[in-house]
Structure 1
Amino acid sequence: MVTRPAQWQWHALEDDLVVGRAEASRRPDGRLFISVDAWHDVVFHQLAEAALAALPRPLHTVVDEADVDLTAQWRGAGFVIRRREWEHVVPTDPIITGLGAVIAPPGVTIVAAADDLLDEVDRAVRAENCPAMPAEILPGRRGLSTFTAAELDGRYAGLLRLAPLPRRPRIGLIAVRAGMRRRGIGRALLADTLATLHRRGVETVSADVHEANVAALALAAGVRARRVSSNLELELR
Structure 2
Amino acid sequence: MNTLNSVQVTRVDETQWQATTGGLIVGHGDVSQRPDGRLFLSIDVWQDAVLDRLAATMLADLPTPLHTLVGEADLDLRSRWEQAGFTVARREREYVLSTEPREAGPDLPQPPADLTVLPAGTADARLLRALDRTIRQEVEAAVGWRTMPAEVLPRPAGTTVVDPTKYAVAARGGRYVGLVRVVPIRRRARIGLIAVRADQHRQGIGRALLNHALGALHRAGIDSAWAEVDDSNTAAIALFEGLGARRSGTTVELVRR
What is the DSSP-based 3-state SS (H/G/I as helix, E as strand, rest coil) of the residue aligned with 2:228? Answer: strand
Look up the match of 2:153: 138
Deviations 1:85-136 (A, max 9, x none): 111111111226769x997524433223544345443343233222431122
Look up the match of 1:116: 126
Look up the match of 1:160: 180
Report the Cα distance in structure 1 between the residues aligned to 2:110 and 2:58, rounded to whole angstroms.
49
Out of 226, 241, 244, the position equivalent to 1:224 is 244
AA aligned to 1:108 is L
Distance 1:31 1:122, change over 3 A: farther
Contact 2:187 2:224 (C-alpha < 8 Å) held by counterparts: no
Q: Are 1:44 and 2:44 counterparts?
A: no
Distance 1:217 1:116, change over 3 A: same
Look up the match of 1:180: 200
Distance 1:71 1:115, change over 3 A: farther
Deviations 1:52-94 (A, max 9, x none): 1121222111121121111111111111111111111111112
Out of 49, 67, 86, the position equivalent to 2:74 is 67
Look up the match of 1:12: 19
TM-score with structure 2 setting the length: 0.82
Deviations 1:121-152 (A, max 9, x none): 33432332224311222334546982222233
Look up the match of 2:136: 126
AA aligned to 1:205 is A
Q: Unpaired runs of 5+ in structure 2? A: 1-7, 156-160
What is the DSSP-based 3-state SS (H/G/I as helix, E as strand, rest coil) of the residue aligned with 1:163? Answer: strand
Q: Unpaired runs of 5+ in structure 1? A: none
Look up the match of 2:30: 23
TM-score with structure 1 setting the length: 0.88
Between the aligned residues of both structures, percent identity stands at: 47
Contact 1:91 1:97 (C-alpha < 8 Å) held by counterparts: no
Out of 78, 87, 91, the position equivalent to 1:80 is 87
Look up the match of 1:198: 218
AA aligned to 1:20 is G
RMSD value, Cα:
2.5
